[in-house]
């Protein structure tokens, strides 16, 4: 499982770093969508790994509660990420002044958070199904 998390990280940051450096997010407006879905899935995997494999005593015992807490964890990180994006857009890239953001920024933020949730649901759902069938919790990848 740890290797799978690492593979996700390498893929995500391997795309994100050049996409930011070369302006791919602006040239390819759709690129943001799969990146947020991948990020949400990656965070879902991390949540599962921490609270089902490494420290199961800290996680919810009920699968539904665990899923909801996992979505909440991903949403928290997603909101922090949106603040990161806002900071870079305003203070680093100077795309727009602090108090004069374009109207579509709010829609983009909501879509990003929705994509994070979709990715988290997929990541948590797949790991729950895959690991339910395995006796050795750390045998996947």
pLDDT of residue 138: 46
Domain boundaries along the sequence of the chain:
2-132
| Alpha helical stretches, state H, 1-141 | 2-21, 24-27, 32-48, 63-87, 104-132
Listed residue (88, 92, 86, 93) closest to 109, CA to CA: 86
pLDDT of residue 97: 79
pLDDT of residue 141: 43
The span from the CA of 65 to the CA of 86, in Å, is 31
pLDDT of residue 83: 92
Q: What is the mean pLDDT of each run of 10 residues along the chain (141 residues)?
A: 93 96 92 96 94 83 87 96 88 80 82 95 89 52 43
Distances in Å between the Cα of 53 and the Cα atoms of 70, 92, 98 are 14, 39, 43
pLDDT of residue 59: 75
pLDDT of residue 134: 54
């Amino acid at each position: 499982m740890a290797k799978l998390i690492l593979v996700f990280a390498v893929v995500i940051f391997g795309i994100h770093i050049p996409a930011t450096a070369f302006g791919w997010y602006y040239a390819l407006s759709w690129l943001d969508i799969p990146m947020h879905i991948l990020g949400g899935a990656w965070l879902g995997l991390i949540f599962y790994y921490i609270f089902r494999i490494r420290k199961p005593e800290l996680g919810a015992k009920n699968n539904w509660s665990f899923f909801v807490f996992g979505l909440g964890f991903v949403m928290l990180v997603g909101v922090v990420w949106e603040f990161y994006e806002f900071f870079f857009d305003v203070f680093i890239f100077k795309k727009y002044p602090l108090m004069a953001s374009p109207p579509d920024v709010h829609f983009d933020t909501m879509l990003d958070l929705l994509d994070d949730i979709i990715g988290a649901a997929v990541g948590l759902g797949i790991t729950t199904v895959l690991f339910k069938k395995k006796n050795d919790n750390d045998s996947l990848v």
